[in-house]
Structure 1
Amino acid sequence: MTEPAIRAFFDEPTFTVSYLVWDPATRHGVVIDPVLDFDVASGTVDNHSVDAILAAAAEEGVSLDWVLETHVHADHLSGAPLIKARTGARIAIGEHVRDVQTIFRPIFGASDVKEGGGDFDRLLADGETIEVGDLAIEVMHTPGHTPADVSYRIGGAVFVGDTLFMPDYGTARCDFPGGDAHQLYRSIRRLLALPPETRLFMCHDYKAPGREAFAWETTVADQRRANAHVHDGIGEEAFVAMRQARDRTLDTPRLLVPSIQVNMRAGRFPPAEANGVRYLRVPVVLKEGADAGSLA
């Protein structure tokens, strides 16, 4: 079994970890969960995070075959289209992205979103394998945070997306539309049934209180022993009760509205209007008791 070479890239504004992963022999590789730099206040986009990944790929002599998304992210915009434009790498995501698009297409009036997940180059099924050089990348459907989450198992490493965080921080939220704490628990137990030495790579780190540095790599054994939410001995009902109570206290992610709109299009922005400008929509819901007439 060929083991991958891995370089991580941490984006502190969104607490996101992207990965350059490649086969050391053939120098073919993939990027997992790339970030597009977006300032919501000014509506401006930059690409220094993608530039850093592509510079590392050039330094290592890596040819990129795929950009792999673990899910439709709600906290950052995807840099996948930029990598595709510059390298020819294709964009893939779990096949249940169709469920996420079904939920959010009407919310944002996104009639341009292609049917059947067609904005992506490939939709991946549970158990499917992608060959990249001598690497075999196994797709594991790990829903719960969203219906579409997948993890990527490459040799003795697994890129878990938004399922687990570092042991001292716990697990991902499940309160977005289509999320399900029961599903998340079962997905996590599936991951933690892998060999104890399996290396787990997080998609985010928020640096738990008392920890001095950001971190994003742990093992199955460490998670089973010490995960704050789901270590061995925590049953499904106890986890679900904790997760649902915790989710009720969490704020809406700052970039949720733009992230969902862009990422369900495989990182593509909505079509430009007649003036050449692309706009992101903000659904407005009036609270009970608000005077709708005065706001019309």
Structure 2
Amino acid sequence: MKSTSQPIVKTFFDPVTWTFTHVVYEAINTPCIIIDSVLNYDPKSGRTSTHSADEVIQFVKESGLQCQWILETHAHADHVSAAPYLQTHLGGKIAIGNQITKIQTVFKDIFHLESSFPVDGSQFDELLVPDEIWSFGNLACKAIFVPGHTPACVAYQVGDAIFVGDTLFMPDVGTARCDFPGGNAEHLYQSIQKILSNPPETRLFMCHDYPPTNRPVAYLTTVREEQQSNIHVHEGVSGEAFVAMRTKRDQTLDMPVLILPSIQINIRAGHLPPPEENGVSYLKIPLNQL
């Protein structure tokens, strides 16, 4: 898909999880898509809230936009998806790459989920296949499969913009970890090269930023800037060198604070586990498992 148009992107930042949510559209009063939403979750109390999603809803409604798709780049381990809440208020189909079934299979076992939990992706409205293209208004979106961080990661290309999920970060931060179940540093290197094969001026929108102390939070860079300056995978870094660096670095990283609640909810397309007899939904903490 050639980068022939420049969609408008409105970005929202959740400072607790360092997550960006992107609303992509052509103009006021046109269809839009929403990428990587956030449901606020307090791990100390187990309470959810919707102030981050409500900001998105307010903008979409005030701009006269019609939400057609609510997209996930992958089953996030660092924040909970607000996709069902957004769908209730804005409509649209919840979609993710079709390799989500691999993630569901692994984590159904890790969390010993109810036997009735399906691992066929049916919790989502649509499962996208590699290089699938669909239209929303006069814009088109392409699903680019970018495994590595997880085997189910997808980037989304709309015109001259690519929403990279956790595959790449800002050049001074680097690249995604690959030590989650199914992660693979060699696959991540190949996925990054796929993204960086686009024209140098292609805009790259981040899902997260973890900035050094000498700059503010940022979410936008370009293929050229990543090729020239990414600390992990700039031009000249071989696949072998990248895999060695990534593997060594991943061994030093702690698990994300919200991995246990996030994964359990996000493999359900953002829906909470079924309530038990008392009407309350519960999450599980597998001891000595991860």
Give the equivalent residue in structure 1 for 2:249. 246
2:155 aligned to 147, 151, 154, which one? Answer: 151
The 1:114/1:223 distance shift into structure 2, 3 A limit, reads same
Picking from 40, 49, 57, the partner of 1:46 is: 49
Q: Within 5 Å, which residues of 2 pair with 1:164-175?
A: 164-175=168-179
- After TM superposition, list the pairs within 5 Å mapping 1:270-281 onto structure 2: 270-281=273-284
Counterpart for residue 290 of structure 1: none
Deviation at 1:61, TM superposition (A): 1.1
- Quote the Cα distance in structure 1 between the aligned partners of 2:53 and 2:28: 24
Checking the alignment, whether the CA contact within 8 Å between 1:93 and 1:120 is kept in structure 2 is: yes
> What CA distance in whole angstroms lies between the structure 2 residues aligned with 1:26 and 1:94?
28
Q: Any unmatched runs of 5+ in structure 2? A: none
How far apart, CA to CA, are the structure 2 residues paired with 1:222 and 1:286? 40
- Equivalent residue in structure 2 for 1:85, among 83, 88, 93: 88
Equivalent residue, structure 2, for 1:180 = 184
SS in 2 for 1:8: strand
CA distance in 2, matches of 1:59, 1:2: 24
Give the secondary-structure state (helix, strand or coil) at the position aligned to 2:39. strand
Task: Look up the equivalent residue of 2:71 and give its one-letter code.
Answer: L
1:68 to 55, 67, 71: 71
The residue type equivalent to 2:131 in the other structure is G
Is 1:129 the counterpart of 2:133? The answer is yes
Q: Per-residue displacement from partner, 1:181-230 (whole Å, max 9, x unpaired)?
A: 0000000001000000000000000112432x000100000000000000
Question: Alignment partner of 1:71: what SS?
Answer: coil
How far does the alpha carbon of each residue in 1:47-100 deviate from its partner, in whole angstroms, 9 at most, with x for none? 001100011111211110110000000000000000111122110000100110
Q: Distance in 2 between matches of 1:261 and 1:129?
A: 29
Matching of residue 58 in structure 1 with residue 61 in structure 2? yes
Q: Does 1:139 align with 2:143?
A: yes
Indicate the residue corresponding to 2:217 in structure 1.
214
- Aligned mate of 2:238, from 216, 228, 235: 235
C-alpha distance in 1, partners of 2:208/2:270? Answer: 19
Structure 2 counterpart of 1:293: none
1:291: which partner in 2?
A: none
Amino acid at match of 2:72: E
Partners of 2:41 and 2:28 in 1: CA distance = 35
Q: For 1:286 and 1:77, locate their aligned partners in 2 and report how far apart those are by CA, in whole Å.
A: 21
Q: 1:25 to 1:275 in 2, by over 3 A?
A: closer
**Any conservation in 2 of the 1:113–1:119 contact (CA below 8 Å)?**
no
SS in 2 for 1:9: strand
Q: Counterpart amino acid of 1:99?
A: K
Aligned residues: 286
Q: Amino acid of the residue matched to residue 192 of structure 2?
A: I
Alignment of 1:11-26 (within 5 A): 11-24=14-27
* Structure number with bigger Rg: 1
Give the counterpart letter for 1:205 in structure 2: D
| SS state at 1:182 partner | helix
Q: For 1:25 and 1:38, how far apart are their aligned partners in 2?
A: 31
- List alignment gaps of at least 5 residues for structure 1: 288-296
Q: How big is the shift at 1:286? A: 7.9
> Superposition RMSD on alpha carbons, in Å?
1.3
- Aligned residues: percent identity? 49
Decide which moves more: 102-111 or 10-19.
Answer: 102-111
Deviations 1:84-139 (A, max 9, x none): 11122110000100110111011112234324100000000111012110111011
Helix, strand or coil at the partner of 2:13: strand
Q: What's the CA shift string for 1:205-264, capped at 9, x where partnerless?
A: 0112432x0001000000000000000000001000000111010011000000000000
In structure 1, the partner of 2:228 is 225
Partner of 1:161: 165
Q: What is the TM-score of this pair, normalised by structure 2?
A: 0.96
Distance in 1 (alpha carbons) for counterparts of 2:281 and 2:275: 4
Corresponding residue to 2:33 among 30, 35, 40: 30
TM-score computed with the length of structure 1 as normaliser: 0.94
- Compare 66-75 and 110-119 and name the one that shifted more: 110-119
What amino acid maps onto 1:204 in structure 2? H
**Does the CA-based 8 Å contact 1:18-1:31 persist in structure 2?**
yes
Quick check: 1:152–1:160 contact (8 Å CA) kept in 2? Answer: yes
**Whole-angstrom CA distance in 2 between matches of 1:249 and 1:113:** 33
- Alpha-carbon contact 1:32-1:68 (below 8 Å) kept: yes
